[in-house]
A and B are shown apart, each in its own frame.
Chain A
Amino acid sequence: GAGVSQSPSNKVTEKGKDVELRCDPISGHTALYWYRQSLGQGLEFLIYFQGNSAPDKSGLPSDRFSAERTGGSVSTLTIQRTQQEDSAVYLCASSPRVSLAGSKRPQYFGPGTRLLVL
């Protein structure tokens, strides 16, 4: 079946502009995660959604970042007033249910959106 898809694949924007990044998870997956990968770094957790529960926003780096998930499926990550340090690859992942320690529930990742803020 289809994997996680993300759009756009690349985005170049000017400092101060707002951007929206889209993630379409694997059909039927109830858990959705956003991560950020800066150049030469591992992945940094941003936010996750599980079903209809309130999202865990504890990884968002500032109040310029927000995300929503409509209808339990597609998610949009919005970055307002972009800064140069926001330049990174933004990766979305989904899993059938929330990942738990001790259970083999890998997160399946999309190809990412490469964001460059000039």
Chain B
Amino acid sequence: AQKITQTQPGMFVQEKEAVTLDCTYDTSDQSYGLFWYKQPSSGEMIFLIYQGSYDEQNATEGRYSLNFQKARKSANLVISASQLGDSAMYFCAMIGSSGYSTLTFGKGTMLLVSP
């Protein structure tokens, strides 16, 4: 079984600062993928970034980067230079190599960016 844990129910950050959203995972699979999604108040889940378990480099996508520490089973999302539009729920998710090909989600972190 796979499990995603996001321990921060809410985070506050000031505009233009960087923020790290925590995600730890548990799986017995050797091959897996980790995803981060953003869910603004409109409700749509927006794909942000992906990290494969065998990727040697940390993934980066614009202002988003993933701090992947495989031994610690953590995949924290770093948002640099926060913007007001970054205020949203953020979900960490994973897909494993066993079982069905669906995403297992954490409970999410609400990020609020203040001016």
Contact = CB atoms under 8 A, between A and B. Distances in A.
A and B: real partners?
Answer: yes
Interface of A: 31, 33, 35, 40-45, 48, 50, 56, 58-59, 89, 91, 93, 98-104, 106-112, 114
Contact of B102 (A40, A48, A102): A48
Contacts of B97: 100-102
A106 B46 CA distance: 10
Question: By CB atoms of chain B within 10 A, which of A33, A40, A43 has the most?
Answer: A43
Given A42-B105, A42-B107, A112-B43, A101 B29 contact: yes
A114 B43 contact: yes
Interface residues of B, number: 31
Contact of B47 (A102, A106, A112): A106
Given A99-B33, A104-B50, 11 more contacts: A31-B101, A43-B45, A43-B91, A43-B105, A91-B45, A93-B45, A99-B101, A99-B103, A101-B31, A101-B53, A111-B44
B102 A45 contact: yes
B102 A101 contact: no
B52 A41 contact: no
A58 B47 contact: no
Contacts of B29: 101
B53 to A, nearest CB: 7
A41 B47 CA distance: 18
A100 B100 contact: no
B106 A42 contact: yes
Interface in B81-115: 91, 93, 95-97, 100-108
27 contacts: A40-B107, A42-B91, A43-B103, A45-B100, A50-B101, A58-B100, A59-B102, A91-B43, A98-B101, A99-B33, A99-B101, A100-B33, A100-B97, A101-B33, A101-B95, A103-B33, A103-B52, A104-B52, A106-B35, A106-B47, A107-B103, A108-B47, A109-B37, A110-B44, A111-B43, A111-B44, A112-B43
